[in-house]
Structure 1
Amino acid sequence: MNRHVPTALTLAAALVLSVVASRHAVAGTPVYVGDAKAKLVPMHTIDHSSWNKLLAKYVDSDGRVDYKRWHASGPDQTSLDNYLKHLSTASIAADEKTTHAHRLAFWINAYNALTIKGILREYPTTSIRNHTPKLWGYHIWHDLKLHVGHQPFSLDEIEHQVLRKMGEPRIHFAIVCASIGCPRLLSEAYVPERVDEQLTTNAKDFFSRSQNFRHDVSGKRFYLSAILNWFGEDFGDGQSEVLRRIAGWLPDSTAQRAALGNAVSIAYLDYNWQLNAQSAQ
């Protein structure tokens, strides 16, 4: 066979590779939000009141979001964009007045607001997982980036490189991936003055829901959200430490005693990736 004369098979293979290569060239193209050139201010001066108003308007007590109505409102989509631009003005440099509570509230709000922005860009959709491809293409957790302090941060980076490094495991009951299996999205902004209280309230709410926690008393077993499987190391080293850490957030004294005594085995519940939309949608 003349090696310089391509066969139909090699031509087909070359065509496939060409298509893949061209798709890969645009795969994962970042989508930036916020303001890359914002004039910076200390993080403790950031005002979360506009985010608070949007949450109060579109999020119910179960953390379900009225994406349909929000998506249909040009002014409120603009309000979200303006809030994200406001977040961009925060300096990430240390300063004397920016406390751990300021940073915690800021980055939780940033994560949740960026997630909502990402879903509204794709709406209508049934799950955030529709926008997390395994091979190529726009990936919402990696490619949607918020400028803060002149640096772009993806959802993945905010979660793993910022929030998890703050040593506060209750973030896992506060940051929301727009799914039913997530903790509820509070219908209010996190604020430095109350962030500790808000985190504890949401942690207790999280374990009060059967989708996240069940206690088989006779079988001496806890059924826990997959979040505790994925991020167990943030709660302690090994089962006994994890159980002691979550004990105070469990819904009744029987479960709390079982956790403190490490007197149960653990199984993990299936995670529900369906969109956390209000039922009318």
Structure 2
Amino acid sequence: MKKLILSFVILISGAAMFASCNLISSAGFNSKGLPTPSVNDEAKNIAKNEAVKVDHSLWNKLLQKHVREDGMVDYKGFKNDREKLNKYLEMLSKQKPDDSWSAQELLAYYINLYNAYTVDLILRNYPVKSIKDINGAWTSEFINIGDTKISLGGIENSLLRKMNEPRIHFAINCASISCPKLINEAFTAPKIEQQLEIVTREFVNSDKNEISGNSARLSSIFDWYKGDFTEGGVSLIDYVNRYSKVKIAKDAEISYLEYNWNLNEAK
């Protein structure tokens, strides 16, 4: 009987941990026919690089106006500019990405789509203490891409993660304190490589991680998506060391910090 109870407790605990760790990746892996080219296919991507141009200038202006340098967001300010945000969202939703789009254009489009609709989600539920308080935040298919409906989790898992670019995890923002910050400029195809490098390096060296030579307490992002960072046989320590100012020893102890889901609202 004791064994049975113990097994049940372990099962429930494991399920709770799984649900928590996969909260933002619970939307499945169905790309719904939308393109997800690998960023590693350089020759193909370069050939397409000038094929499509999506204008993200309106989003750029909104970000510069309502997002601080530290990534904290003035959601009340965004509410006052609701009409402009809606105009940008409508423009994005009228787009229908296809195989003529370069990987760079798609990355910028999907990242901006995710971030802009996350702000939209918060505004539609404002005031809110945490995005976790919103039912179906990552699983509800409230986003239109052409005639396709998709969720925030679908954009992340079914589109961006399939493009074999782990740095996207530091570009998308889930409106929470522990998330990589929402940068106050739009991602664009010509600048996407530079932007991804900047946000990754900044996040790794920020207070979202506690890194020393012999140990590292990393953001839970590195735990939840470890497979993305270690694909191809690269160790997690090797990946972090590419960007960290403090290099972690190969045999260092790795643990993960508790995630703060409180809203990233500028006070």
Asked if these proteins are the same fold (TM beyond 0.5), I'd say yes
The equivalent residue for 2:251 is 263
- Deviations along 1:192-239, one digit per CA (max 9) or x if unpaired, are 0011111110111102222x211244xx11110000000010001599
CA distance in structure 2 between the partners assigned to 1:188 and 1:64 by the alignment: 13
The equivalent residue for 1:128 is 131
CA distance in structure 1 between the partners assigned to 2:241 and 2:126 by the alignment: 38
TM-score, length-scaled by structure 1: 0.74
Task: In structure 1, list runs of 5 or more residues that go unmatched.
Answer: 1-41, 132-137
Q: Tell me, what secondary structure is at the counterpart of 2:242?
A: helix
Structure 1 residue identity aligned to 2:96: S
Structure 2 residue identity aligned to 1:51: W
Q: Tell me, what secondary structure is at the counterpart of 1:45?
A: coil
Tell me, yes or no, if the aligned pair for 1:43 and 1:92 is still in contact at 8 Å.
no
Q: Which runs of 4+ in 1 moved over 3 A?
A: 237-240
1:83 corresponds to which of 84, 88, 100: 88
CA distance in structure 2 between the partners assigned to 1:126 and 1:56 by the alignment: 23
The equivalent residue for 2:68 is 60
Q: Report the CA distance between 1:157 and its aligned residue.
A: 0.4
Percent identical residues = 38
CA distance in structure 2 between the partners assigned to 1:184 and 1:84 by the alignment: 20
Structure 2 residue identity aligned to 1:231: Y
CA distance in structure 2 between the partners assigned to 1:179 and 1:43 by the alignment: 35
User: Quick check: which has more Rg, 1 or 2?
Assistant: 1
Q: Tell me, what secondary structure is at the counterpart of 2:184?
A: coil
- Mapped pair 1:272 → 2:260: yes
Tell me, yes or no, if the aligned pair for 2:53 and 2:105 is still in contact at 8 Å.
no
The equivalent residue for 2:211 is 215
The equivalent residue for 2:116 is 113
Structure 2 residue identity aligned to 1:130: D
Structure 2 residue identity aligned to 1:277: E
Q: Tell me, what secondary structure is at the counterpart of 1:143?
A: coil
Tell me, yes or no, if the aligned pair for 1:226 and 1:270 is still in contact at 8 Å.
yes
Tell me, yes or no, if the aligned pair for 2:51 and 2:102 is still in contact at 8 Å.
no
RMSD: 1.8
Structure 2 residue identity aligned to 1:116: V
The equivalent residue for 1:45 is 53
Tell me, yes or no, if the aligned pair for 1:126 and 1:275 is still in contact at 8 Å.
yes
CA distance in structure 2 between the partners assigned to 1:100 and 1:206 by the alignment: 23
The equivalent residue for 1:135 is none
CA distance in structure 2 between the partners assigned to 1:239 and 1:275 by the alignment: 36
Q: Report the CA distance between 1:127 and its aligned residue.
A: 0.6
CA distance in structure 1 between the partners assigned to 2:77 and 2:110 by the alignment: 26
CA distance in structure 1 between the partners assigned to 2:202 and 2:185 by the alignment: 15
Tell me, yes or no, if the aligned pair for 2:176 and 2:263 is still in contact at 8 Å.
yes
The equivalent residue for 2:77 is 69
Tell me, yes or no, if the aligned pair for 1:240 and 1:262 is still in contact at 8 Å.
no
Tell me, yes or no, if the aligned pair for 1:43 and 1:91 is still in contact at 8 Å.
no
Change (3 A) 1:45 1:196: same
Q: Report the CA distance between 1:44 and its aligned residue.
A: 2.2
Structure 1 residue identity aligned to 2:83: T
Q: Tell me, what secondary structure is at the counterpart of 1:44?
A: coil
- Deviations along 1:62-94, one digit per CA (max 9) or x if unpaired, are 1110012222x1xx1111111111011222221
CA distance in structure 1 between the partners assigned to 2:226 and 2:232 by the alignment: 8
- Deviations along 1:5-34, one digit per CA (max 9) or x if unpaired, are xxxxxxxxxxxxxxxxxxxxxxxxxxxxxx
Q: Tell me, what secondary structure is at the counterpart of 1:86?
A: helix
